[in-house]
Amino acid sequence: MSRPAVLQSEAVRKATGTFRKRGGILRMVEAIDAGIHRRTLYAMRDAGVIETLSRGLYRLADAPPLGNPDLVTVALRVPHGVICLISALAFHELTTEVPHEVQIAIPRNSEPPRVDYPPVRSFRFDGRAFGEGVETHRVDKVDVRIYSREKTLADCFKYRNKFGLDTAVEALRLYKERGRVDRAALMRAAEACRVTNVMRPYLEAVL
């Protein structure tokens, strides 16, 4: 079917309207649940009406550019996960590092995410360490679960052997410079991550 024919299709017009009502992005399972046939999706893709963000995730081609497409894609592909560590530091502007992957926390017993793009690195968190400090931020009209600044700091101290203690200390200094220090939240996060004794001297020195 040619592109003009696709655009004139009643099924495509309805599907496009559904996409727009959902913010311009749909997973295939959501599209099918909304009454859009797979053939319609593929025809829209082949005609350039929608574009593939990641496997099974589509977006209207004429929608405004995404400000943070990687976080949005991972949030939609891994809805049970939480953006963490360096990715969360970058979101909160608490690092000078540029993330080359999206780091996401998942419950200990869950299956690792299968995301072909963007690059994703998952970390298994237990109980309170997973549930503490989860915030929901609206990013490009999509709800993205991200750890709070305080929980992210605690996570970075916990994973200091992987990412370097200097990364955690730099983040703590930037946190102080932002002028919104929540000591109680920091201590709760430190306890949840079992790094209270590790963090205490740095909190006393920096804050």
Write down the pLDDT at residue 22.
86
Write down the pLDDT at residue 23.
85
The number of distinct structural domains making up the chain is 2
pTM for the structure as a whole: 0.83
Residue 50 and residue 90 in one domain = no
- What's the length of the chain? 207
Cis omega (within 30 of 0) for bond into 118: yes
Contacts of 171 (CB under 8 A, 6+ apart): 89, 94, 95, 152, 153, 156
Torsion 172-177-178-183 (CA) sign: positive
Cα Dmax for the chain: 67
Residue 56 and residue 73 in one domain = no
User: Is the CB of residue 122 less than 8 Å from the CB of residue 106?
Assistant: yes
Res 7 pLDDT > 80: no
Contacts of 201 (CB under 8 A, 6+ apart): none
**Of 40, 60, 80, which marks where a domain is finished?**
60
**Angle, helix 38-46 to helix 10-21, in steps of 10 degrees:** 90
Rounded to whole angstroms, how far apart are CA atoms 149 and 152? Answer: 5
Write down the pLDDT at residue 88.
97
CB atoms near residue 194 (< 10 Å): 13
Average the pLDDT over each of 44-48, 82-86, 115-119, 184-188 and give the range with the smallest value.
Answer: 115-119
User: Is the CB of residue 10 less than 8 Å from the CB of residue 36?
Assistant: no
Residue 40 and residue 95 in one domain = no
Residue 44 and residue 145 in one domain = no
Cα–Cα nearest to 97, from 178, 159, 157, 164:
164
* % of the chain surpassing 70 pLDDT: 96
